Structure 1
Amino acid sequence: MSINVVEPDPSTAVGKRKTPFKNEAEVKKKRLNMALNVTTIFLGIATWWVVSMFVKNLPTPVETVQAAIKYAQKGIMGEDIIASLRRVFTGFLLGTALAIPVGFLMGWYSWARGLLEPWVQFFRTVPPLAIIPLAIVLMGIGETPKIFVIFLAAFLSCVISTFQGVVQVDKTLINAARVLGAKDSTIFAKVVVPASTPFILVGMRIGLGSAWATVVAAELIAAQQGLGYRMQQSQIYYDIPTIFVGIVIIGTFGLIMDRMVLWIENKLTGWQERR
């Protein structure tokens, strides 16, 4: 008598089982979100158009596009965008690079928390824009004070989030690792860092937004290029459409960069439960 051996289907094997219904639901959810995003953009433009018909001096979307074309034809739009991007990237990267180790230090060592947290909280309540006069006096009117103000905004936003991520790591995981004989360095690398990564990336998103929010004011410091500088010049000449062009460009680049960080977050924290 022969016995037929049925080979297990790899797609339904334990540990390899795919969840087609879940995947289909995620795809549908992404498509719905994309459709809602596109819809809300058109609704926003339509609302802007309607409001501009009733509000004096508010440019319409068409007038803003025309101003953007003139701005680009002058050959200075690209230079302004590059100047602002350079300042934002430099300040944001420096602020994040310092905020992450400082946040880990404050969260992991109680003595570091006692020494650093009061100062972090103190400067966090001081708007970065209030530092501009002091930055001009101490650093002059070159690129350094502009980047420093953006750096400070990004640093203060990211360091608190990193610190909270470290202190909120589940103590059970840390104790379990210690019971299994893991050293502090191993616990830090294998438990604390992965568990706090979502907090770090959220802090980076907030810091990126703070950097863009600060760049306009930072370019008050004797700038000759930059989107903020161009918007301030447009204010002097009452060129409202160009001001709107600057707002749209800053918002667009800020949104794109935020989505890039969000994409990185999804790749690094795929294990995290999401709604």
Structure 2
Amino acid sequence: MEPSEPIEPIGQRDRQYRYLSNSVFWSIRQGFPKWLSLLLVFMSLAVPLLLWTLTSSLQLVPPTFLPTPLAVLAAGVKMFAENNLWDDVLASCGRVIAGFLLAAIIGVPLGLLMGTFYSMDKLFSPLIGTVRYMPITGFVPLIIIWVGLDEPAKILIITLGVVLYNIIMVADAVKFIPNEMINVAYTMGASRWDVLLKVIVPATFPSVLDTLRVNISGAWNFVVIAELLAAQSGLGFKILQSQRFLQTDKVLFCILLIGSIGLILDYGLRWLSHILTPWADPIDR
């Protein structure tokens, strides 16, 4: 009796094996060439600038509503030279930093507690989940009554606009820690305090830095609202003042200046995160 041939599983005879083709542009977490990274960054900035230049130069939109980039730049130089714009930059930066730091001091510890302990989560989640849907602008009259019109009111608006998102994002980062890490710590004799300080805090530290980096943009968004409260300086104040006189070039320059400051802060926080948590993003991008 001749030996029979091996029987292949059903459906495997017609199976065609496919191999992943090489791709630089669409690679998934496999590194990225520096030259292509710089090229894409240049394009992301150059293309909108080119469209803006063409639209304004051809006057597809009236110059009163969309001045050219050169006109905006000239208005900015004039504001620095004649209107002492540096004082407004420093005033807005001071308010943003104060409000953001206060939101971090409150939000990060509370988020860690809510993510770690079910009791804290059940205690604070209903309140935070309700308040975060309320518009901050609705609290402005109450803030004026409670705090007044001075700097504390402006800082409080920025803090309220950021702190709730800090709490929620930090709490979610804690909840993504695998239970195995906590169980191993208990097995090795760790106390609850040890688990919190030596397991949960180090594991969530990269996510906390990312949370702060993302939410600092919210602080700059709320600074314009904050500077509605009888402010005499600040970039938001300059935007509102220029808007009244239809000085679109000054409005656009202040908006671009806020974006530039935010971009510098974003890259600064990324650099700080890379220095403090090199293990969180091992791929050189």
User: Which bracket does the TM-score occupy, shorter chain normalised?
Assistant: 0.7 to 0.9
Deviates more, 1:125-134 or 1:211-220: 125-134
Verify the 8 A CA contact 1:129 1:214 in the aligned structure 2: no
SS at match of 2:33: helix
| Aligned counterparts of 1:229 and 1:64: Cα–Cα separation in 2 | 18
Q: Where does the alignment leave 5 or more consecutive residues of structure 2 unmatched? A: 1-28
Q: Are residue 162 (structure 1) and residue 162 (structure 2) matched?
A: no
Verify the 8 A CA contact 1:165 1:199 in the aligned structure 2: yes
User: What residue number does 1:132 align with?
Assistant: 140
Q: CA deviation at 1:204?
A: 0.7
Q: Are residue 211 (structure 1) and residue 215 (structure 2) matched?
A: no
| Aligned counterparts of 2:198 and 2:34: Cα–Cα separation in 1 | 31
User: What residue number does 1:41 align with?
Assistant: 45
Alignment of 1:229-244 (within 5 A): 229-244=237-252
Q: CA deviation at 1:44?
A: 2.0
* Count of residues paired in the alignment: 251
- In proportion to residue count, which structure has more helix? 1
SS at match of 1:54: coil
| Aligned counterparts of 1:77 and 1:261: Cα–Cα separation in 2 | 25
| Aligned counterparts of 1:202 and 1:223: Cα–Cα separation in 2 | 31
| Aligned counterparts of 1:253 and 1:158: Cα–Cα separation in 2 | 21
Paired residue type of 2:208: I
Q: Are residue 255 (structure 1) and residue 263 (structure 2) matched?
A: yes
Q: Are residue 80 (structure 1) and residue 84 (structure 2) matched?
A: no
Paired residue type of 1:55: V
User: What residue number does 1:55 align with?
Assistant: 61
Q: CA deviation at 1:269?
A: 2.8
| Cα displacement string for residues 98-139 of structure 1 (whole angstroms, at most 9, x for unaligned residues) | 111111111112111111111111121112222212211221
Counterpart pick for 2:103 among 60, 79, 95: 95
Deviates more, 1:259-268 or 1:57-66: 259-268
Deviates more, 1:28-37 or 1:122-131: 28-37
User: What residue number does 1:225 align with?
Assistant: 233
Deviates more, 1:161-170 or 1:81-90: 161-170
Verify the 8 A CA contact 1:157 1:210 in the aligned structure 2: no
Say which one has the larger Rg: 2
SS at match of 2:229: coil
Paired residue type of 1:35: L
TM-score w.r.t. structure 1 length? 0.86
- Residue 160 and residue 31 in structure 1: after superposition, are their counterparts in 2 closer, same or farther (change >3 A)? farther
| Cα displacement string for residues 40-73 of structure 1 (whole angstroms, at most 9, x for unaligned residues) | 2122211111222311220110010110011011
User: What residue number does 2:200 align with?
Assistant: 192
Counterpart pick for 1:246 among 228, 241, 254: 254
Q: Where does the alignment leave 5 or more consecutive residues of structure 1 unmatched? A: 1-24
| Aligned counterparts of 1:35 and 1:135: Cα–Cα separation in 2 | 47
Structure 1 residue ranges, 4+ long, deviating more than 3 angstroms after superposition: 25-31
Counterpart pick for 1:32 among 36, 45, 55: 36
Q: Considering Cα pairs closer than 8 Å and 6+ residues apart, tell me whether 1 or 2 has the greater RCO.
A: 2
Paired residue type of 1:155: V
Q: CA deviation at 1:30?
A: 4.0
| Aligned counterparts of 1:66 and 1:145: Cα–Cα separation in 2 | 34
Q: CA deviation at 1:267?
A: 2.5
Q: CA deviation at 1:26?
A: 8.3
Deviates more, 1:253-262 or 1:243-252: 253-262
Paired residue type of 1:48: W
Verify the 8 A CA contact 2:274 2:281 in the aligned structure 1: no
Paired residue type of 1:190: K
CA RMSD of aligned residues (A): 1.8
Q: Are residue 149 (structure 1) and residue 157 (structure 2) matched?
A: yes
- What percentage of aligned pairs have identical amino acids? 33
